[in-house]
A and B are shown apart, each in its own frame.
Chain A
Amino acid sequence: MKRIVVGAHYGLGSWLAQRITAVIMALYSVILLVVFMTGRPITYGAWRELFTHGWMRVGTLLFAVSLAWHAWVGVRDILMDYAKHDGLRLALEVMTILVLATYLGWTVQILWR
C-alpha cells in the first residue's frame, strides 16, 4: 500500500474499528444484563461459577480487547483535540497505551487465575 504523509482517510480504519468494537461491547452488555436480571441473588459460588464457563471467559476477553481498541481511538481523539503541545500529547498517548495494556493484562489475570 502506498503511503503518503499528507492527505485524508487515514482515520477510516480507526473509525471503522471503533464502530465494530462498539457493537461487540453493546452485545456483551445486553447479554450480561439479561443474565443478571433473570438470575437469582448472586452468591460467591454462582459468581465464581459464571466466570469458569469458557464462553464467559472468551466473551469477557473479547469485550476487554474491544474496550482497549475502542478507548484508544476515543482517548486519542480527545487528546488530539485538547492537548495541543506535541510533547504533552505524546506523553499522554503513551500513558493511555500503558493504562489500556494494564487493563488487558489484569483482565487475563482475573479470568485465568
Chain B
Amino acid sequence: MSSAAAKKPRPKYLSLSALLFEIRLPAPAWVSGLHRLSGALLFFPFATWLLYLLDTSLASEAGFARVHDQYMRSPLVKLGLLIFVWAYAHHFCAGIRFLLLDLNKGIDLPRARRTSYAVFAVSLLLTLFFGWRLW
C-alpha cells in the first residue's frame, strides 16, 4: 500500500496550472489566496484609480459632473468598480476571519470551512448588491 502511494506521480511544484486543474484546494486555501490577490489589486491599480476619482470629483463642479454623470455611466467603468467592490469585500471579510483565527476563534476544521464559505457568500452578495444599485 505504501509502495503504491510512493509510485503515484505527484506534482513536485505547485505551479499555477497544478493549483487550478490538478489539485483540489480546500475552501480556506482559496480564501487565503484570494485575500492575497485582492490585496495586491487594491494596492495597484485600484488605490490609484480611486484617488484619481476622488481628486477629480472634489476639484471642481465640472470635474464632479464628469465623474458622476459621464465616467461612471460607462459599462467598462462599472465593471471596474464591481471588481473593486468584490476585491474590497473579499479582503474585508477574509481579513476579519483571519483576525478571529488569530484569536483562536473558529480554528477547528468544520468551522474553518464554514467561515470560508461565509466569506465567499458575503463578499459575493455585497458585490451583487452593489451591482444592482449601480445598474
Contact = CB atoms under 8 A, between A and B. Distances in A.
A71 interface: yes
B51 A110 contact: yes
Nearest to B89: A29
Contact of A74 (B43, B58, B64, B88): B43
A107 B51 CA distance: 7
A21 B39 CA distance: 14
Given A44-B64, A47-B64, A67-B47, A113 B40 contact: no
Interface string B32-71: 0000100110111001100100110111010011001000
A10 interface: no
Contact of B58 (A19, A23, A110): A110
Contacts of B65: 44
B120 interface: no
Interface residues of A, number: 23
Nearest to A103: B47
B95 A22 contact: yes
Given A44-B61, A71-B47, A110-B58, 13 more contacts: A19-B99, A19-B102, A26-B92, A29-B88, A42-B68, A74-B36, A74-B39, A78-B36, A106-B51, A106-B55, A107-B51, A110-B54, A110-B55
9 contacts: A23-B99, A29-B92, A67-B47, A71-B39, A74-B39, A75-B40, A78-B36, A99-B48, A103-B51
